Amino acid sequence: MPKIGTQEIAKLLRGYAQRSALRGGNPYRAKAYSRAADSLTALAVPIERLIEEDRLTEIPGVGGAIADIILKLHRTGTHPSLEKLREEVPAGVLELLSLPGLRPEKVLRLYKDLGVTSLAELEEAAKEDRIKKAKGLGSALQTKILQNLAIAKSGEGRRGIVHCHTDASDGTETLETMAKATRKRGFEYFGVADHSKSAHYAGGLSLEEIKEQHQEADRLNKKFGKDFRILKGIESDILADGALDYPDDVLESFDFVVASIHGRFKLDRKAQTERLLRAVANPYTTIIGHMTGRQLQRRPGYEIDVEKVLRSCAKHDVAVEINAHPWRLDLDWRWHQAALEYGCMLSINPDAHSIAELDHMHWGVEMARKGGVPPDRVLNAMPLSDITRYLRQRRRSFARAA
């Protein structure tokens, strides 16, 4: 069996953590696995190098025991104790943990007492009043579950999802699988935005891989027909000097470009701001991704003049991302009113690397609500016909300018 990479190991460790939490027992064990998975997801060097150099325990949260598990997962794709946990807790039960407010002990009770093994079965049980009648669950939990399911399904008027990753870079699923999961959730478009070539640690796309992905998107779009579409995007790294990491003739082949900083976080405030301003002024930039670079409970953002960047985004018609990943929630809701006053559009993006992470959208919606962002100022609240027209006109305008 081929050895598996960092993101797949992180996914398996997270499943390990979730199943351990559901099983009960020592709560710190589940937290330790979860922390190790978080650290692997943010890893800036290939896992193979750390294994080769016997440096796994240098990863935050990885001690000797977890290092042994990581090594086994890397070499075989599984681990005996993980297989045992899989027998005890089916994969579908883990879906339930994605619903806000549903704690592991409640999920376990829903599974063991009511046989609930998916979100669809959870909704059915709630609508049939079975949760209300169950010991240790009750009517308050049932009401909360129905409310949160409604939020997740409604999408508050949003029409599509952009800024998602596939297994072409550091995601876990194929383009087709991610697109179909997005369509199944009632959205009109899926904007793929895999990592660019500078993100070598995340399997950034070569020119040949971009061409292959675009061909695959064209093939799938023919199958989907006119009511759903894959938009061809890229998450292009902003280099230290503010340039994007593909030449213009490559950037113009995309429907949209998310420009993001993934390194050199310690530049001073002036240099970091200038770096972002140059990226915003690039005519191929459609969205500025996770503008401040913060990761909640992990690292602060880098120092920038947020107001200056927002004014530039408004001037150059570049949308500001509300990154819905629960580690990021960036741009912070406290800046949303300033963004609106300067004239910015915003874009609520899940930064999804798996099917489950598509449902991070609800966190972004909650943040936009908190920041007072109306739907007409959200890029991906546009219906499919409007966003394709907008992106096409935008490309034409800078083609004329060139």
Q: What mean pLDDT value characterizes the chain?
A: 89
Residues 41 and 97 in one domain: no
State the pLDDT at residue 93. 85
Query: For the whole model, what pTM was predicted?
Result: 0.68
Residue 268 lies in a domain: yes
pLDDT tens digits for 334-343? 999 999 999 9
Over residues 127-153, the mean pLDDT reads: 84
Stretch 168-172: mean pLDDT, rounded? 90
pLDDT of residue 153: 62
Interval 108-112 mean pLDDT: 89
Work out the pLDDT band at 346, boundaries 50, 70, 90: very high
Which residues are CB-neighbours of 113 under 8 A, at least 6 positions away?
Answer: 134, 135, 136, 137
**Quick count: other Cβ atoms within 10 Å of Cβ 51?**
16
Beginning with the edge strand found earlier in the chain, give each strand of the sheet holding 189-195 in spatial order: 160-164, 189-195, 229-237, 256-260, 287-288, 319-323, 346-349
| Residue 98 pLDDT level (bands cut at 50, 70, 90) | confident
pLDDT for 255: 97
Residue 106 has pLDDT above 60, yes or no: yes
Q: What is the mean pLDDT of residues 15-32?
A: 82
CATH code, 242: 3.20.20.140
**pLDDT: is 222 or 81 the higher one?**
222
The yes-or-no verdict on residue 400 having pLDDT over 80 is: no
pLDDT tens by residue, 176-201? 999 999 998 889 999 999 999 888 77
Query: Could you tell me what percentage of the chain is helix, strand and coil, using 3-state DSSP and rounding each to the nearest 5?
Result: 55, 10, 35
Which range of residues forms the domain containing residue 202?
158-401
Please identify, among 152, 178, 204, the residue that sits at the C-terminal boundary of a domain.
Answer: 152
272 within a domain of the structure (yes/no): yes
CATH code for the domain of 112: 1.10.150.20
Token pair recorded at residue 390: 């907008």
Q: Is the domain of 144 the same as that of 203?
A: no
126: number of Cβ within 10 Å: 22
Tell me the CATH number at 13: 1.10.150.110
Last residue in a domain, options 38, 61, 89: 89
Q: What is the pLDDT of residue 156?
A: 60
| 343 in a structural domain | yes
Lowest mean pLDDT among 154-168, 188-202, 360-374: 154-168
- By C-alpha distance, which of 93, 102, 119 is closest to 23? 93
Regarding beta strands 160-164 and 229-237, do their DSSP bridges make them parallel or antiparallel, or are they unpaired? unpaired
127 shares its domain with 238? no
The DSSP code sequence of 58-109 is GSTT--HHHHHHHHHHHHHS--HHHHHHHHHS-HHHHHGGGSTT--HHHHHH
Do both 329 and 360 map to the same domain? yes
- What pLDDT shows up at residue 152? 62
Q: Say if residue 59's pLDDT is above 90.
A: no
Alpha-carbon gap, residue 365 to 201, rounded angstroms: 30
* Identity of the amino acid at 285: T
286 found inside a domain: yes
Using DSSP's 3-state secondary structure scheme, residue 244 falls into: strand
pLDDT for the residue 401: 60
Report the pLDDT value the prediction gives residue 285, as an integer from 0 to 100. 97
Q: Is residue 85 part of a domain?
A: yes
In the numeric block, the tokens 């993101």 are attached to 7
Residues 170 and 79 in one domain: no
For residue 254, which phi and psi values (nearest 5 degrees)? -95, 155
The string of DSSP codes covering 16-62 is: HHHHHHHH-S-HHHHHHHHHHHHHHHT--S-HHHHHHTT-GGGSTT-
> For 183, phi and psi rounded to 5 degrees?
-65, -40
Region 73-82 average pLDDT: 86
* Final residue before a domain boundary, out of 100, 122, 152: 152
209 with 164, same domain?
yes
354 with 220, same domain?
yes
116, 130: one domain: yes
Mean pLDDT for 145-158 is 69
Strand blocks (E) in 153-207: 160-164, 189-195
Q: Is residue 1 part of a domain?
A: no
Q: Which of 33-37, 228-232, 259-263, 368-372 has the highest mean pLDDT?
A: 228-232
Count of C-beta atoms within a 10 Å radius of residue 148: 16
Is the pLDDT assigned to residue 144 strictly greater than 70? yes
DSSP class of residue 238? B
- What are the residue ranges of helices labelled H in 115-161? 119-127, 130-133, 139-154
Tell me if residue 223 falls in helix, strand or coil.
helix
CA distances from 214 to 172, 234, 288, 379, 382 (A): 19, 11, 22, 22, 23
Query: Are 232 and 352 in the same domain?
Result: yes
Same domain, 218 and 307: yes
Number of domains comprising the chain: 3
Q: Percent of the chain scored above 90 by pLDDT?
A: 52
In this structure, the answer to whether residues 390 and 351 fall within a common structural domain is: yes
Q: What integer is the mean pLDDT of 311-326?
A: 95
Note whether 99 and 46 are same-domain residues: no
Confidence band, pLDDT 50/70/90 cuts, at residue 157 = low
How confident is the model at residue 82, as a pLDDT? 83
* Cα 304 to Cα 297: distance, rounded to the nearest angstrom: 20
